[in-house]
Amino acid sequence: MPGKKIFISGDEAVAEAVRMARPHVISAYPITPQTVTVERISDFVEDGSLKSEYLHVESEHSAMSAAIGAAAVGARTFTATSSQGLLYMAETLPYASGARFPIVMMNANRTVATPWALLSDHRDSLSQLDSGWMQVYCEDAQEAFDMILQAYRIAEDPRVMSPVMVNLDGFILTHTYEMVDLPDQEEVDAFLPPYRTENRMDLEEPRTVCYASLDEYMEFHMKQEFDMRKARAVIAEVDRDFGIRFGRQYGGLLEKYRCEDADAVIFTLGSVTGTVRSVIDSMRGNGYRVGLVKMRFVRPFPEDEVVDIAEKVKAIGVLDRDLSIGYEGIVFSNVSSSVLRACSAPAMVNYIGGLGGRNISKDNIQEMFLELLRAADGEKGKRVRFVNVGSEYDG
Amino acid sequence: MDRPKIVRYEKPGKVENYPCGAIRVGTLVQDNAGWRILKPVIDHGKCVMCLRCFLLCPDGVIDKSGKILEIDYRFCKGCGICARECKVEAIEMVREGGDEDAG
């Protein structure tokens, strides 16, 4: 099948990428706004264009459990979820990562109840930051397509052997249509060879997975941690190779946009990145020295890259579409701990916005940058700010 | 009895050398996982080979392939189901560490 450009939604882009990655087993349970992805994959299996076992399971907990079972015999697996579904499967996530199964999962970012809401924020995925899964956040449908393919390469690398969660903002990315460049199947096969592993059950040489050990529990997780650190280099390496083969590259762990000579930068995750880019372009036209840091991976965390940025700018704003109630934004906490390692101490402001799908407008972003530039000049302000709030507040 | 061959487990010297996920079976880290306080001892004079204990043992550690029943104490956890279910009271639960310790 030759490469082509087609007009599809983010959900469909993920489904197309899964078809080209040729997983042996797909186990999934539909949930808004991920539903279209698993429906399309089901269509592909039905029409024979994807030769996989498709397990229509009864819940997300079963979806991940079935993926773990399939991965335990050496299968390449895929599942997808969102929000409440991710939380329902939460118990099984450390099973997958602890057993070192390179499962790839798409998560359509949607807020968590209650209040019940369907629109996007990152409270679902970031609540699972400590589950031993890598987490990557996409800016558009093309990146989502590309990251599914990259995710398998990274996860299955013998140096890494850990699962990946590919995150797309619900509706904003999952349900909007974009032109997506689909590569040639042969090129994808060359980039992503069949999955072979010794980490599986085997009749000839019996092994046990998900076993119990009290004596060596700590050492096993230390090994997992050390391998996850190695993943940083593998992510960069896979991104470079992808760029050579397909002409698209994303910067590995994070992307810096117009950060050279910037006084103030904003850290983003996911779809709001595009809006911030456009604000930067117009503010740069008016002489403001502002830039963007698009956080792509939050696990493994781009520690050295953040330290490097902190040493070059005067103010950092972190735009969190989440809130760890009782403290601050989760990404802000993570970025702040790396900034502490820097030789300089930039001003730090946390912007909490977009919860439950609340809009983050260009004006909101421009206000953030103007405030950050004042902070860069030494003005003291609040550490945590809420963006685009309809009511007055005293926080 | 058809059992995996037991290989004594040696800890990898370095954390980096720990296995990635699956480990080989037949590596017995500790006999009976260190759980057993009481162990079942069969009185072969009383045993009538009814195989009730063989069928009910949750760990499948009772071997019926010989002339008498034998318990594999490496895997027996000492749950006592065999002793309780034996209709001729041929199995006695004996405190570990006594003279007859075979574990």
pLDDT value of position A394: 77
- The pair of structure tokens assigned to B30 is 């500790």
Test B22 with A207 for CB contact under 8 angstroms: yes
Q: What is the pLDDT of residues A22-37, one digit of tens each?
A: 999 999 999 999 999 9
* Interface residue B20 vs chain A (CB under 8 A): yes
Closest CA to A51 of A75, A74, A69, A28: A75
Residues of A in contact with B2 (CB under 8 A): none
Among the residue ranges A192-201, A259-268, A357-366, B5-14, the one predicted with the least confidence is B5-14
Q: Quick one: pLDDT at residue A208?
A: 77
A154 pLDDT more than 80: yes
How far out from the chain centre does Cα B70 lie?
Answer: 10
State which amino acid sits at residue A367. E
A226 CB neighbours in chain B (<8 A) are 15-16
**Cα–Cα separations (whole angstroms), residue A306 to A273, A310, A333, A338:** 17, 6, 13, 6
Q: Do A99 and B18 touch (CB under 8 A)?
A: no
Residue with tokens 């896979």: A238
Distance between CA atoms of B39 and B100, rounded to whole angstroms?
10
- Flag the least confident range among A7-21, A210-224, A240-254, A358-372: A210-224
Domains defined along chain B, listed by start:
7-95 (3.30.70.20)
Total number of residues shown for chain B = 103
> In a 3-state reduction of DSSP, which class is residue A288?
coil
Q: What is the ipTM of this complex?
A: 0.72
Q: Is B89 left (phi over 0), alpha (psi -120 to 50) or beta?
A: left
Is B4 part of the contact surface with chain A (CB cutoff 8 Å)?
yes
Alpha carbon A187 to its chain's center: 24
Percent of chain A topping pLDDT 90: 92
Question: Per residue in A56-109, pLDDT tens?
Answer: 999 999 999 999 999 999 999 999 999 999 999 999 999 999 999 999 999 999
Q: Which domains does chain A have, with CATH numbers?
A: 4-246 (3.40.50.970), 255-386 (3.40.50.920)
What's the whole-number mean pLDDT along residues A367-381?
97
CA quadruple A90, A99, A18, A183: dihedral sign = positive
CA distances from A322 to A51, A110, A126 (A): 38, 11, 8
pLDDT the model gives residue A268: 98
* A355 has a pLDDT exceeding 90: yes
Assess whether pLDDT exceeds 90 at residue A258. yes
Give residue B12's pLDDT.
83
Q: What is the pLDDT of residue A213?
A: 65
At residue A321, does pLDDT exceed 70? yes
Pull the structure tokens for residue A164: 């990946």
For range A215-242, the mean pLDDT: 94
Per-residue burial over A36-63, b if 16 or more Cβ lie within 10 Å, else e, is bbbebbbebbeeeebebebbebeebbbb
pLDDT band at B38, cuts 50/70/90? very high
Residues in Cβ contact with B51 at an 8 Å cutoff, skipping those fewer than 6 apart? B64, B69
CA distances from B33 to B19, B30, B91, B97 (A): 20, 5, 22, 16
Provide the pLDDT for residue B28: 65
All residues of chain A having their beta carbon less than 8 Å from the beta carbon of residue B26 are: 206
What's the whole-number average pLDDT of chain A? Answer: 96
User: Measured between alpha carbons, how far is A11 from A16 in angstroms, rounded to an integer?
Assistant: 9
Tell me what pLDDT residue A91 has. 97
Within its chain, how far is the Cα of A228 from the centroid? Answer: 15
Which positions in chain A have a beta carbon within 8 angstroms of at least one beta carbon in chain B?
72, 99-101, 158, 161, 198-201, 205-209, 211, 213, 215-216, 219-220, 222-223, 226-227
pTM of the model: 0.89
> Do A226 and B15 lie within an 8 Å CB cutoff?
yes
Predicted pLDDT of residue B32: 72
**Mean pLDDT for the stretch of residues A310-333:** 98
